[in-house]
Structure 1
């Protein structure tokens, strides 16, 4: 690690709770018990969210998790398959004893919030994350949680609601201290083509999607919530590498939830994410998470930008992969190395050639 990297401050705060790293193990199979959370925390996670606690332990169909394309999952897994008492009496205290910053996930109804919030807080959780299938139940859950706990309350937004950004504002007005966004997207469907049936064995064959495929939706919703002046925000959804974490942070998140990629690549991704994020922030000129947080928000366009692109080609960076030529739907670009040719009469300045260049050999600046 370079001296500059060592100077990068990766610590952050959510609702006054300090995290050693911006990466949070989001609620899921890896946080099924204290040992799972301890492993993630030791690997570099700044905090860990428990599996969601409810009044009754879950019984899951089989199978209930499957691959859904590159770094993407489908699942019909429910909440924790432990009784809440096990979490309260054993798992949360055990994780806290090992120094884990614990966020207790509680769902999905006001009645369950009334039954569980105080006990989870008393067990040592640093924060509470409320989860609901319905917007209508979230605000009553916030009210109950705030009356029953003296620790920060986080509300998790669902992308399946009509307007999660407006719901986030209502939650904050009701007393929540922070927002996490987003939950998984669905319902979705995957067909097992070899057996001509749904791959998930839920009651309707449907599941919920997480991982890389949902990232653009997650970043959009995070930015919308941040632009409504939410300063305490955990961005969750599809982050697999440092560059994507920076996107989430620039969109307004102060911490980044990670789940699917850790399931697919192993808990060691946290160490890799921290190392690569430190290096990338140094390259971009940011000294801390606070410095990069929300950096993109002032730069959202106020209207459509119409113009052209001034292209620049650096042959020293070119690998001759010809991706720029392959993706040009209009046959406007031709690589005859070391020359890059462009037919300006055919080019629509869509920008795909720039976006797909793997080395940055081809760049473009908007000219209005």
Structure 2
């Protein structure tokens, strides 16, 4: 079995998967359950001066089958007082395996009060700073750094748009050692079309989206952070299956944060996905997960590529579904011949109409139509 051992801030974890801050990390019991299920690390709910009172309901799944593995939520931060975390929940984590991350938010004033006592418990390995604005995250990191020598992760959100990377750089300057990327995306709104009613509680019934739908966004952010700053990043957002974990690692993630997958599939997800990830690596000739870390980064293009694509067609694979013809937005493809998987089949491309978008190759399930010069 391939070795999935992962090191974060000098601490060895038996698995790359870290339970992200969320419903499953509600208290020490939840954290221990995640460890026993196979998590290599855990992150507490975000501690604030005022404990949360959540709207109801505050977790719903999308009504569209096209958004499987995705979750909408209006859940807030820790609903236990921060003092209880310091006095009971964190001390109960004594002797924990792997990494224990304490999440603190959302303002410098809160970090000033909470960070010292959290660090003083002696059981926390790192602190994750969470804020809603780029300016606040920098101040929070600076305040926490003044109160502890523990590694600090700045949790970043795609919701900051163009300010994300300047905020990341400023957080490093303020004392952060790495990042958690990304937080959930939103706001979102879902309506039950049978009743016209919203599906989730909260002001305006607007929610935050996590899970499969945000993984490509998370990966773009992780890749950019690793390329720009070269510091540890816990790639978080949309890892549902072992192949997702491989992809997130290939864009440079040091460790893998997960929340939605174990929520929707149960804590046994950790053990099952660990085994499947190890098996994938074995099947592809890798002895350890670290061998694929950052493997995709050298292949990312520094400039835009506009070279026309070259297509290859294998008539013996073609099932004559005609999707490449029907779905071509430019009406550039036609097919000659009627018998599936026959040497008589021919693909005819009108190069004057073709824009080389690649949709025809993407919809060809039997891979009868492929590229001759991509990737490059």
* Fold in common (TM above 0.5): yes
Structure 1 position 281, deviation (Å): 2.3
Structure 1 position 356, deviation (Å): 4.6
Q: Could you tell me the TM-score, scaled by structure 1's length?
A: 0.89
Which residue of 1 is the match for residue 235 of structure 2?
235
Q: Residues of 2 paired with 1:136 and 1:344: CA distance? A: 53
Structure 1 position 33, deviation (Å): 1.5
Which residue of 2 is the match for residue 76 of structure 1?
74
Q: Which shifted more, 358-367 or 218-227?
A: 358-367
Relative to 1, partners in 2 of residues 1:327 and 1:22: Cα closer, same or farther, differing over 3 Å?
A: farther
Which residue of 1 is the match for residue 15 of structure 2?
21
Contact 1:15 1:178 in 2 (8 A): no
Match of 2:311, SS state, is: strand
Q: Residues of 1 paired with 2:44 and 2:318: CA distance? A: 45
Give ranges in structure 2 of 5+ residues lacking alignment.
none
Relative to 1, partners in 2 of residues 1:174 and 1:314: Cα closer, same or farther, differing over 3 Å?
A: farther
Which residue of 2 is the match for residue 42 of structure 1?
36
- 2:301 corresponds to 1:294: no
Contact 2:14 2:98 in 1 (8 A): no
Relative to 1, partners in 2 of residues 1:121 and 1:266: Cα closer, same or farther, differing over 3 Å?
A: same
Structure 1 position 19, deviation (Å): 1.7
What are the superposed Cα offsets for residues 115-161 of structure 1, whole Å, 9 maximum, x if unpaired? Answer: 11121122211111000011111111111111211211111001111
Which residue of 2 is the match for residue 337 of structure 1?
340
The equivalent position to 1:11 in structure 2, one of 2, 5, 12, is 5
Structure 1 position 85, deviation (Å): 1.7
Q: Residues of 2 paired with 1:116 and 1:311: CA distance? A: 61
Which residue of 1 is the match for residue 357 of structure 2?
350
Structure 1 position 180, deviation (Å): 0.7
Q: Residues of 1 paired with 2:20 and 2:320: CA distance? A: 37
Contact 1:189 1:205 in 2 (8 A): yes
Structure 1 position 353, deviation (Å): 4.3
Q: CA RMSD in A?
A: 2.5
Question: 1:97-176 counterparts in 2 under 5 A?
Answer: 97-99=95-97, 101-123=99-121, 124-162=123-161, 163-176=163-176
Relative to 1, partners in 2 of residues 1:56 and 1:175: Cα closer, same or farther, differing over 3 Å?
A: same
Q: Which shifted more, 223-232 or 91-100?
A: 91-100
Structure 1 position 319, deviation (Å): 9.8
Q: Residues of 2 paired with 1:281 and 1:321: CA distance? A: 35
Relative to 1, partners in 2 of residues 1:314 and 1:176: Cα closer, same or farther, differing over 3 Å?
A: farther
Q: Looking at CA atoms only, which structure, 1 or 2, has the larger radius of gyration?
A: 2
Relative to 1, partners in 2 of residues 1:177 and 1:201: Cα closer, same or farther, differing over 3 Å?
A: same
Match of 1:301, SS state, is: coil
Q: Residues of 2 paired with 1:231 and 1:314: CA distance? A: 48
Structure 1 position 361, deviation (Å): 6.3
What are the superposed Cα offsets for residues 316-357 of structure 1, whole Å, 9 maximum, x if unpaired? Answer: xx6959495487324737694324642222655433344455
Q: Residues of 2 paired with 1:34 and 1:357: CA distance? A: 49
Give structure 1 regions of 4+ aligned residues with deviation exceeding 6 angstroms: none
Which residue of 2 is the match for residue 3 of structure 1?
none
Contact 1:35 1:95 in 2 (8 A): no
